[in-house]
Amino acid sequence: MSILNSIDVAAKYIREGKLVAFPTETVYGLGANALDPMAVAKIFELKERPSFDPLIVHIASIHQLQDLVLNTDERVHKLTEKFWPGPLTMVLPKSNIVPDIVTSGLPTVGIRMPSNEIALDLIRISDCPIAAPSANKFGRISPTTAAHVRKQIPNVDYIIEGGKTTVGIESTIIKLTDKGFQILRNGIITQEELETVVPFDGETAIEKLSAPGMLKSHYSPRKKLLIADSSSLDLDKSKAGLISFSGEVENGFCKVIRVSDRKDLKDYAVNMFEAMHSFEDDNEIELIIAEPVCETGVGRAIMDRLRKAEFNWRQA
């Protein structure tokens, strides 16, 4: 009798049309066979995600890309060569085999090849592309550990334990135009890095680009979160948790999570969602304060996530 390891079990579930939460290098995904519309429908149901918000399809080989999209020009090859496997999603014209439910009826599909070995093995052994959004309830904090998935989506068919993710925020999403690439969502792969391969088409502001599901509120903790430079804060810190980057003004807070000892923005990205989860779960904390950073390089992706996490609370 053969004993199946967890990836084999998970792959069997995927083939049977069930849902599997699995680690990627960015955040945990809630995956289903991308070519099975009934399985994909369960993702929307379990995540309580509106049907207008399209899913990213995860692949493990360039061969799979060719099946899923209509054509790939030279720029796509250059980008995949440099950034795949890795946290870059490309939105490309879809082929007929991609069900409409995956793309919310759009003629394009978002595709990426993750670099996490468990994710790649899962896709290979399942022998199909895997559609997967982040494995959180719609609008809530993204999961960077299996425990975060269990907290929000306990009733998923299977969760693969893969430790803490190494990037910590979702992939950069781009689309190609005649002039170059546009960024639909900022991530750890920055505009500057992408520009070394393809020109940046920055004529339209990111807020004006059409990426369904890019709402003003997202990544939202259940407790009030404010972006604030803690030195200028005029409020009771005794029940507040500080997500600290500079490490400079930490006095008076109930708890402090320092996201980087070496003041590296990549560490902020890696630890930001985990810090939000930790304060959300902490009975002593009523308010979360997140320290802002400069909006250059990875700072753009960090401030994007923080603003969306803050949005509903600013209105309140």
CB of 49 to Mg ion, least distance (A): 9
Q: Does 298 bind ligand TXA (CB under 6 A)?
A: no
Six-digit token pair at 109? 């599909």
Contact (CB, 8 A) for 19 and 31: yes
By CB under 6 A, name the one of 7, 27, 118, 303 that touches ligand TXA.
27
Contact (CB, 8 A) for 305 and 294: no
3-state secondary structure of 105: coil
Taking CA atoms, 63 is separated from 127, 128, 186, 303, in Å, by: 12, 11, 27, 36
CA dihedral 82, 86, 87, 88 (to 10 degrees): 40
By CB under 5 A, name the one of 134, 144, 171, 182 that touches Mg ion.
134
Q: Which does 171 bind (CB under 5 to 8 A by kind): Mg ion, ligand TXA, none?
A: ligand TXA
d(CA 18, CA 129): 14
Q: Does 55 bind ligand TXA (CB under 6 A)?
A: yes
d(CA 275, CA 164): 13
Contact (CB, 8 A) for 141 and 277: yes
Q: Does 211 bind ligand TXA (CB under 6 A)?
A: yes
User: Which residue lies nearer to ligand TXA by CB, 139 or 297?
Assistant: 139
Q: Does 171 bind ligand TXA (CB under 6 A)?
A: yes
Q: Does 173 bind ligand TXA (CB under 6 A)?
A: yes
Q: Pattern of binders to ligand TXA over 243-272, x per CB under 6 A?
A: ------------------------------
Six-digit token pair at 101? 């439910």
Q: Which does 85 bind (CB under 5 to 8 A by kind): Mg ion, ligand TXA, none?
A: none
Which positions touch ligand TXA (CB under 6 A)?
A: 24, 26-27, 29, 53-56, 87, 89, 91, 103, 106, 108-110, 132-134, 170-171, 173, 184, 211-214
What are the residues binding Mg ion (CB under 5 A)? 134
